[in-house]
Structure 1
Amino acid sequence: MILNKNHRLYILIILCIFIGGCGRFGLHAVNHKNMLQHKVKKFDNRLNRNIKIAGFIRFNKKVLESIRLSKRKSNNQASVGTESIRGKKLANSHLQNKRHPVTNVRFDKHGMPDFTPYTIHSYKPKSASELTYDVKKDTKYFFKKTGLNQAEYSKHFAVHHNAHENRLDLVYRKAHDKTNHYGAVELNRWIKKSNTKDISPADLVK
């Protein structure tokens, strides 16, 4: 079959469109990868800076702790670790309104960690009943609902159960893992053991 000039021109135009589309797709993929790497580097620098701050605080911990103990005795305050929610003793109660000794992550008045500075995506289901509070299952659920690529994000980010809003947050993994804590997963486990119905972890930390 002999192609005339018009046919050759049409084929050339189609090839240009195809190559251009592939180029744009490739550029988008590169930009997304660079964006993710930039986020990881940003969070890593922030975490390292906070770890140094926490280290400085630990260096002076003996002096600070002696001051706290003297004030606690004089004010007849309750001992550390006795705060509870509806009779549930909080594992993080010693960190209430304080910062984590390793990562400097802030803990609220309920002893729940605030990973906002390290969060890049969030998903809040319509109902808390949609969450299983099983880390593996809810991680798959999060990526399914957000449409994000789990294989791409899981290396540097972890899904965290935000107790306050029954929400799932995608948090920088190093900050999450280095900040030893108990949160919504533990509260939900306690709810099941106590046979308490019609409440969620968020109801316990209002």
Structure 2
Amino acid sequence: TAPTSMNYPGALPFDPSLFSQGLPPSCECSPEVQNFKETIQQLEGRLVRQDHQIRELIAKMETQNSQMGELKRTIRNLEDQIAEIEAQECNGIFIWKITNFNAYLKAQEEEKPVVIHSPGFYTGRPGYKLCMRLHIQLPNAQRCANYISLFVHTMQGNYDSLLPWPFQGTIRLSILDQTDGPSRHNHEEVMDTKPELSAF
């Protein structure tokens, strides 16, 4: 609304042109400033597009990670199935080759407990599923310092419902000497099961 004229004693008459004369002229941006504005707009557009691309890549990566996890689970299941088949094929004769045994000896010398478990194997088809446990006794162990203890454990197998329990049979354990020459000497022990004992 335009200001209204009010008459006071000795007042000058209202003149709107007095206000318009004091206003600065409209600002016109220089070409350099205009270029900066256009550059900023272009960069903002690129940022928006890159943000969308990053979101798409993150979604793809999450999908790939999920698929990779599923593949790993499938591979583990297949490996377990292969190990189960191989365990049944040994027909009661299982050869356990322990690799990197020097590292276990070094750990034993440092008085660290050393317990190693073998893969499971079957005494036949159908048969009991067993595994072995090797324990290298510590240097300060009473009565058995620096000895190797070898145990046989029963495991849950595919034929348990078809077999008589407790476990019945004869176990022959052999530790093969890896040295060459006439001094080579294997260690062997034969154990018969004793159903009345929880361990024999």
TM-score range, shorter chain: 0.3 to 0.5
TM-score normalised according to structure 2 size: 0.33
Greater RCO (Cα-Cα under 8 Å, separation 6 or more): 1
Between Structure 1 and Structure 2, the one with more strand by share is: 2
Between Structure 1 and Structure 2, the one with more helix by share is: 1
TM-score normalised according to structure 1 size: 0.32
